[in-house]
Amino acid sequence: MSKLKYLIVVAFLFSVATVQAQSKDEVIFIDFGDEKITKAEFKRVYQKNNSGEIISKSTVDEYLDLYINFKLKVKEAVDLEMNKDPAFIKELSGYRKQLAQPYLTADGIMEELKKEAYDRLQYDVKASHILIKLDQNASPEDTVAAYKRAIRVKKNLENGQDFELMAKQYSDDPSAKTNGGSLGYFTSFYMLYPFESAAYNTKVGKISEIVRTQYGYHVLKVVDKRPSVGNVEVAHILISNDQELSKTNDSEGKIKEIYAKIKQGEKFEDLAAQFSDDTRSAADGGVLPMFGVGRMVPEFEKAAFGLKADGDISEPFFTPYGWHIVKRLQHAPIGSFESVESELVQKIKKDSRANLSQASVINKIKNQYGFTENLKERDDFYKIIDSSFFKGTWSVDAAKGLTKELLKIGDKFVNQQDFAQYLENNKSKKVIDSRVLVNARYDAFKRASILEYKNFKLDEEYPDFRYLMQEYHDGILLFNLTDKLVWSEAVKDTSGLQAFYSTNKENYKWDKRVDAIVFSSLNKKVAEIVKTMLKEGKDVKEIIEEINRPSQLNLRYETKKYLKGENEIVDQVKWEKGISENVTLNGRFHFVKIKEVIEPTYKTLEDSRGLITSDYQNFLEKEWIQSLRSKNKLEVDKKILKELKTELN
pLDDT digits (tens, 9 = 90+) for 177-196: 999 999 999 999 999 999 99
Domains 123-227 and 509-602 share a fold: yes
Quick one: pLDDT at residue 4? 53
pLDDT of 17 strictly over 90: no
Question: 3-state DSSP: the chain helix, strand, coil percent, rounded to 5?
Answer: 55, 20, 30
Give the contacts of 231 (CB within 8 A, at least 6 positions apart).
290, 291, 292, 331, 332
pLDDT of 83 strictly over 60: yes
Quick one: pLDDT at residue 3? 58
For residue range 369-408, what is the model confidence (pLDDT) as tens digits?
999 999 999 999 999 999 999 999 999 999 999 999 999 9
pLDDT of 247 strictly over 80: no
Burial 28-46, CB ≥16 within 10 A → b, else e: ebbebeeebbbbebbbebb
pLDDT of 55 strictly over 50: no
| Rounded (5°) CA angle 294-299-303 | 95
Quick one: pLDDT at residue 259? 96
Give the DSSP letter of residue 313. Answer: B
The whole-number average pLDDT for the span 430-444 is 94
Quick one: pLDDT at residue 241? 87
Of residues 128 and 57, more confidence is placed in: 128
Quick one: pLDDT at residue 20? 45
In which band, very low, low, confident or very high, does the pLDDT at 1 lie, cut at 50, 70 and 90?
low
pLDDT of 646 strictly over 70: yes
Domain locations in the chain as residue ranges: 1-79+463-504+603-649, 123-227, 231-332, 370-460, 509-602
Give the contacts of 396 (CB within 8 A, at least 6 positions apart).
417, 420, 421, 423, 424
How much of the chain exceeds pLDDT 90, in percent?
77
For residue range 499-542, what is the model confidence (pLDDT) as tens digits?
999 999 999 999 999 999 999 999 999 999 999 999 999 999 99
CA distance 576 to 560: 16
List 587's β-bridge partners, or say none.
none
Q: Which helix (H) or strand (E) holds 578?
A: strand 578-579
Quick one: pLDDT at residue 32? 84
Domain 1-79+463-504+603-649 falls in which CATH fold? Triger factor/SurA peptide-binding fold (1.10.4030)
Quick one: pLDDT at residue 28? 81
Grouping H, G, I as helix, E, B as strand and the rest as coil, residue 183 is strand
Domain 231-332 falls in which CATH fold? Chitinase A; domain 3 (3.10.50)
**Mean per-residue pLDDT of the chain:** 91
Quick one: pLDDT at residue 46? 85
Any idea which architecture 509-602 has in CATH? Roll (3.10)
Quick one: pLDDT at residue 14? 55
Q: Do strands 513-521 and 555-563 pair parallel, antiparallel, or not at all (unpaired)?
A: antiparallel
For residue range 327-361, what is the model confidence (pLDDT) as tens digits?
999 999 999 999 999 999 999 989 989 888 889 89
Quick one: pLDDT at residue 319? 94
Give the contacts of 558 (CB within 8 A, at least 6 positions apart).
517, 518, 567
For residue range 188-219, what is the model confidence (pLDDT) as tens digits?
999 999 999 999 999 999 999 999 999 999 99
The whole-number average pLDDT for the span 608-619 is 93
In which band, very low, low, confident or very high, does the pLDDT at 249 lie, cut at 50, 70 and 90?
confident
CA distance 194 to 171: 18
How much of the chain exceeds pLDDT 70, in percent?
94
For residue range 121-139, what is the model confidence (pLDDT) as tens digits?
999 999 999 999 999 889 8
Of residues 47 and 508, more confidence is placed in: 508
Any idea which architecture 123-227 has in CATH? Roll (3.10)
For residue range 448-480, what is the model confidence (pLDDT) as tens digits?
999 999 999 999 999 889 988 988 999 999 999
Quick one: pLDDT at residue 242? 82
In which band, very low, low, confident or very high, does the pLDDT at 2 lie, cut at 50, 70 and 90?
low
pLDDT of 53 strictly over 50: no
